[in-house]
Copies of this chain bind each other. A is one copy, B any other.
């Protein structure tokens, strides 16, 4: 039997190499979305398929299983370090999953994701769902097959949601979302009846938007030696190495605040990644050094987007800067109102905090229907439009602004959408805990003490990694179970205070 040091060392070396390969995959993804010319898509799809196959082979190999077993044996026999125990639990769970999958399915999925993304882009620019439908059907079939092969005591949708939201059950999700299903439509209806100041259409120069984003991240402490920014059709944040963090933003014509808010949002994601534990160099490769769930990730991006950038004190500090480059703001209130329209629209990414949840309820219901309840792909656009009319009172004019607007399904990501809304709930509940501990986030925005806020987040959220799952983390920080109440309280108070500037 190898010594404990050898067993852990060999396992660590294996994980490190896996992480190297995984981060190469991420680099290809980054390039694909920021710079790759369109005709490069097919070769890139083959590259990604090759890497996915290699990664799956590494993560399911007998050699790796032996390394893991040896480390577990040492842990059982002597050193019961709880953190390494948690690492082993997570690694064993993932090994079990990877070993359940047929390599042919892994390759087919990688290829279908690349094809799906490519077809979705074409379908969206032609606003024609039928161009994408066959690819979506393939992805659904493959994902259903994946869930079958994984053979967990979970429903198909639940099984697919695990990589994003570990331990989430549909029943729990429904319980968390029930108050939102009831209250959000009421609040939207209420907000729509209130008089709203008319705002003329306006826009900002692309270069001004870029400058404002640079200033924002400068003010928020960006270190250019470890971070960079680019443009992509859909903003995202990605980590390519232990000292290589990247975000993208985009400029949307006619939506002069979109780029700025997307930057704030993605920077929140990046701050979470930048704050993940790194006590030893291996943490980047070990599970505990990774994000615990997409909902927690989203709670961090939403914090900086909504609690900071959409706050009143932020508008007080920034409105003049926006006015300088052409925004029609004669005071902070104008900026705050532009940041918080509180009016339902068709677009999820540009939605305000009030109607955002309704977008997610629609998508969540639809993907569960597609995967588990027999909704046919061809019926998706009608079903989508019907629900938008019902819940938000608006109806898409075409597929591009309807069911083709989001990228996720084109990459076979099912089970991902709820994380966005859970992120709102978590952000609100963490913010309450923060308020008790160090004072309201808005107070720190006013005082210019955002470093205090960041320090608190680093300590209570970022630095935890995967030591706890999302709900355990929230419970530890806020001393109560996750619920929709803090979010509803926050949003109702924001609505109430709207008139009392």
A→B interface (CB under 8 Å): 17, 20-21, 23-24, 27-28, 30-31, 34-40, 42-44, 46-47, 50-51, 224-228, 230, 240-246
* Cα–Cα distance between A39 and B242 once the two chains are bound (Å): 9
- Neighbour of A30 across the interface among B23, B31, B241, B243, CB < 8 A: B31
Contacting residues, chain B, for A246 (C-beta < 8 A): 35, 37
Copies of this polypeptide in the complex: 2
Knowing A24-B51, A28-B24, A46-B20, say if A35 contacts B241 (CB, 8 Å): no
- Neighbour of A24 across the interface among B17, B24, B36, CB < 8 A: B24
* Cα–Cα distance between A277 and B39 once the two chains are bound (Å): 18
Decide if A38 touches B225 in the complex (CB within 8 Å): yes
Contacting residues, chain B, for A40 (C-beta < 8 A): 226, 240-241, 243-244
Contacting residues, chain B, for A28 (C-beta < 8 A): 24, 27
Contacting residues, chain B, for A31 (C-beta < 8 A): 27, 30-31
Contacting residues, chain B, for A50 (C-beta < 8 A): 17, 20-21, 24
Decide if B242 touches A37 in the complex (CB within 8 Å): no
A-B residue pairs, 7 tightest by C-beta:
A43-B241, A40-B244, A39-B243, A39-B226, A39-B225, A37-B228, A38-B225
Contacting residues, chain B, for A228 (C-beta < 8 A): 35-37
Contacting residues, chain B, for A34 (C-beta < 8 A): 35
A201 to chain B, nearest CB (A): 27
Contacting residues, chain B, for A42 (C-beta < 8 A): 241, 243
22 contacts between A and B (CB under 8 A): A20-B43, A20-B46, A24-B24, A30-B31, A31-B31, A35-B35, A35-B228, A35-B230, A36-B244, A37-B224, A37-B227, A37-B243, A39-B226, A40-B240, A40-B241, A40-B243, A42-B241, A42-B243, A43-B241, A44-B241, A44-B244, A47-B241
